Structure 1
Amino acid sequence: MTETALWLSIAAIFFLLFLSGFFSGSETALTAASRARVHQLEKTGDWRARVAGRLIASRERLIGALLLGNNLVNILASALATTVFLALFGEAGVAIATLVMTALVLVFAEVLPKTWAISNPERFALTVSPIVRVVVAVFGPVVIGVEWIVRMLLKMLGVNIGDDASILSAHEELRGAVDLQHMEGGLEKGERDRIGGLLDLAELEVSDVMVHRTNMVALNADDDPANLVEAALASPHTRLPLWRGESDNFVGVLHAKDLLRALNQANGDAAKINILEIAGPAWFIPDTTSLQDQLNAFLRKKTHFALVVDEYGEVMGLVTLEDILEEIVGEIADEHDLELEGLRPQADGSVIVDGSVPIRDLNRAADWNLPDDEATTIAGLVIHEARMIPEERQIFTFHGFRFTVLRREKNRITRLRIMSLSKIRAAASA
């Protein structure tokens, strides 16, 4: 090999290493770039973001083209390096070329460009996308064939990949991004809970957040009007269901503002008021209605109150617009709300909880992750896991917590002590 050919080969090797680094960095940047950020940049009119968005949308073809280009230049660079080192060192040149090229490819064609790309993937992706678009177009026919071969091989192994297969739904991707931002300090707990609550609306049913029948405040429409007015004014609620004849025969909903208007027109004489005339109709909804659908229904009908019935038509409870909003923003309290002691932290790290406290509220308040698929309240969770109605002072351990039944009334668990097992172990080892 002449001296000129030798130097040309060495220059070609370094040029090929540069191309290998370009392909490696481009692959990392375009696969790691946030589609949401790229989309936002595209909306501002950035043409490079539009190109990057199209490349990311066809990710399988993009990766195939970049891997094909990367392998071509790496193999060619290794072949040239072997020729150069054979000319310089004879038969030992093969081993030397292998060691040198491994080091060069590892440092300059893999680690360095990928580290650079991952440090700011969106910016890197926008920079390389115009060139990568040409690469994908050139290698397109070959990549299509490779895709077909890969899909056939995976199908033989029992893995069926659709053309638009997606592992995570949009909600799951958003939830994962929110949790990650919270872990990295980008979102506070309250912000994470509000966004998570919004994402949960489609998964929750009204039965998960309703006021249970046993806790409903309802009025007998046949009572004396003066007593009804007194009871309505004493209630912290502005909307009250009315029943007649039997306590499960609901005939309407009384709004405090309508009652005040009627009192004003009657010059304060409650005896002149016909409660049923000023009451609005009762709205009954199935207990399986999702919170998202019910929120839309509330907004569409411009009402804030509905009675929840089961599959047999029996009233199970009531749900209001405020109940749904509280799933997003947390507990909404005003000067008329009654303070209910449902959660009391203890000095030893445990928490005393009323059995009626919803699991979701407890998770949000204590930053726990107790499952709420099979039960709505914390008492219901204990009964479900224990497969029995526990006695007082019985202790159960599940889901990483120790539950102690403090009080039981008939078949209802009314008070529990809960403590994390990690705190118990920490206290034991101290």
Structure 2
Amino acid sequence: MTLALGLTLGAIVGLLIVSAFFSGSETALTAASRARMHALEEDGSARAGLVNRLLDSRERLIGALLLGNNLVNIAASALTTSLFLSVFGEAGVAYATLVMTALVVVFAEVLPKTYAILNADKMALAVAPALKVLVALLAPVTAALQFLVRHTLRLFGTDIDDETDVLSAHEEIRGAIELHHKEGGVVKGDRDMLGGVLDLRDLDVSDIMVHRTKMEAIDADLPPEEIIDQALQSSHTRLPLWKGEREEIVGILHARVLFKALRDVDGDSSKIDVMALATPPWFVPDTTTLKAQLAAFLKRKAHFAIVVDEYGEVMGLLTLEDIIEEIVGDITDETDVAATDAQPQADGSLIVEGLVPIRDVNRLMDWDLPDEEATTVAGLVIHEAQAIPNPGQTFNFHGFRFEVLRRHRNRITRLRVVPPDEDADEAEAKDAKPPANSAS
């Protein structure tokens, strides 16, 4: 009897150890750094290559681990129940349930998973060979279970195929960057730059272009001396030329080419043919992604494009610098005028021009204003208010307070944005309050 009791206790302990192995292995494999495993594999680590192959068939791996874990837990519970019944009678069922629950939770779940989280890469490399054998042995059973699960889910309208991926690689990278930023491992500037690279595939040129109302352009019909004066006064080196209407762009004038031509004629501007110096404008659709446009800029060795809508109407202009600024932030030099489009205030609010993109505000203030329905701050207010508000009106959207400071005709030109913390005293939302100022 004593020998049988000892064997039973030994079997229970052994099954708990195996259960701990399964639990820890599952956590280690799912928490292991794919980037580090790939780096180790490139350095010649056979075990890292094995980890990568196991993770490539993640569903089979998890299925095998869960199946093995449940089998040993059930076996351990059955043996414990049998043992306690022989010792305590019918009350042994309750005792066995309490004891096994405590043992499984502490020693087969919490303890191994905690260790695995703290040593994910190290443990994943250690258990990979054993898991390879386990996955191979249980492959027929896990395949049958996968078939049953998939077809059961289809009955409830959920279709899962072999290529389904919950998170794209870009989303995984973005999530890792945000996590490291919150933990202090990545500073805000680096986070914004890395996020800017990822955003290039999600943004269109219309999201960051210089709108036509803010374009600097020169009338090509002006006398050459006036064109030269305007080029000198501009802070830009490339300027669109228009004829008839400002939206009729007929060429792009480079200041360096213009001044070289002026030198060649000994300063006699009357001898200069401005249109002969201009290059043909490059028109790009407003729906082009920034990633595609950056590639096009590099391929054409160009720096400047005119953005048009589906009807061919000019919407604005885009430069290579605009795309680079989406990654590195504003680029200024000694000729740039200090930016006044967005001015953070001492109380945490922001005074901002209406045409400033929401993305720029979020980046500057580390806010999270939505930019799905509108590109600019003014556009967001108009979208949410379903009207063009007057100066002095105040709105509460998405936890922020928007106060219209100035309006010109049908455009909101200046606003004050107050974040949730500074607006805590005015929690109740107001659709609008009577205007206090007249439009300017």
Taking structure 2 as the reference length, the TM-score comes to 0.92
1:63 is the counterpart of 2:62:
yes
The residue number in structure 2 matching 1:34 is 33
2: CA distance, partners of 1:364 / 1:320:
20
User: Which residue of the partner structure matches residue 363 of structure 2?
Assistant: 364
Q: Hey, what does 1:243 align to over in structure 2? A: 242
Instruction: Give the CA deviation at 1:301.
Output: 0.2
- Paired with 1:91 and 1:408, the residues of 2 have a C-alpha distance of 82
Residue 219 of structure 1 is matched in structure 2 by 218
Equivalent in the alignment of 2:377: 378
| Residue of structure 1 equivalent to 2:78 | 79
Instruction: Please give the per-residue CA displacement for 1:169-228, whole angstroms capped at 9, x wherever unaligned.
Output: 222222222211111111111111111111111221111111111211112223222222
1:215 maps to a residue whose letter is: K
- AA in 2 matched with 1:336: T
Shift of 1:343: 2.0
Deviation at 1:326, TM superposition (A): 0.9
Instruction: Tell me the equivalent position of 2:106.
Output: 107
- When structure 1 is superposed on structure 2, of 413-422 and 263-272 the one drifting more is 263-272
Matches within 5 A, 1:297-376: 297-376=296-375
1:130-209 equivalences under 5 Å are: 130-209=129-208
Q: Deviations over 1:282-325 (max 9, x none)?
A: 11111111111111100000000011112221212111001111
Unaligned runs of 5+ in 1: none
Query: Alpha-carbon deviation of 1:331?
Result: 0.8
Deviations 1:155-174 (A, max 9, x none): 12222111121122222222
Residue 21 of structure 1 corresponds to: 20
Deviations 1:86-144 (A, max 9, x none): 44445544443333222222211111111111112122111111101101111111111
SS at match of 1:179: helix
Letter in 2 for 1:221: A
Structure 2 CA distance for partners of 1:414 and 1:47, relative to 1, 3 Å: same
CA 1:105–1:373 in 2, change beyond 3 Å: closer, same or farther?
closer
Deviation, 1:9, is 2.4
Separation of aligned partners in 1, 2:375 and 2:66: 50
Q: CA deviation at 1:62?
A: 0.8
Percentage identity across aligned positions? 61
Q: Secondary structure at the match of 2:138?
A: helix
Question: 3-state SS of the aligned residue for 1:247?
Answer: coil
Q: Equivalent residue of 2:284, what SS?
A: strand
1:251-282 Cα deviation digits (max 9, x unpaired): 21111221232223223322222212221111
Q: Which amino acid aligns with 2:115?
A: W
Structure 2 counterpart SS, 1:40: helix
Q: Which position in structure 2 is the counterpart of 1:234?
A: 233
Deviation at 1:55, TM superposition (A): 1.0
Equivalent residue letter for 1:189: K
Q: 1:86 to 1:247 in 2, by over 3 A?
A: closer
- Mapped contact 2:303–2:320 kept (Cα < 8 A): yes
The equivalent of 2:251 in structure 1 is 252
Query: 2-side partners of 1:382 and 1:89: how far apart?
Result: 72
TM-score in terms of structure 1 length: 0.94
The whole-number CA distance in structure 1 between the counterparts of 2:92 and 2:392 is: 79
Q: Secondary structure at the match of 1:424?
A: helix
Distance 1:416 1:228 in 2: 35
Query: Per-residue deviation at 1:426?
Result: 5.6
Moved over 6 A (4+): none
The range that moved more, 17-26 or 377-386, is 377-386
Alpha-carbon distance in structure 1 between the residues aligned to 2:348 and 2:68: 59
Structure 1 match to 2:434? none
User: What is the alpha-carbon root mean square deviation over aligned residues?
Assistant: 1.8
Give me the whole-angstrom Cα distance separating, in 1, the residues matched to 2:371 and 2:93: 63
Q: Give the SS at the match of 2:305.
A: strand
Helix, strand or coil for the counterpart of 1:208?
Answer: helix
What secondary structure is seen at the aligned counterpart in 1 of 2:390? coil
The farther-off stretch of 377-386 and 243-252 is 243-252
Question: For residues 245 and 87 of structure 1, do their structure 2 counterparts lie closer, same or farther at Cα, with a shift above 3 Å needed?
Answer: closer
Deviates more, 1:245-254 or 1:25-34: 245-254
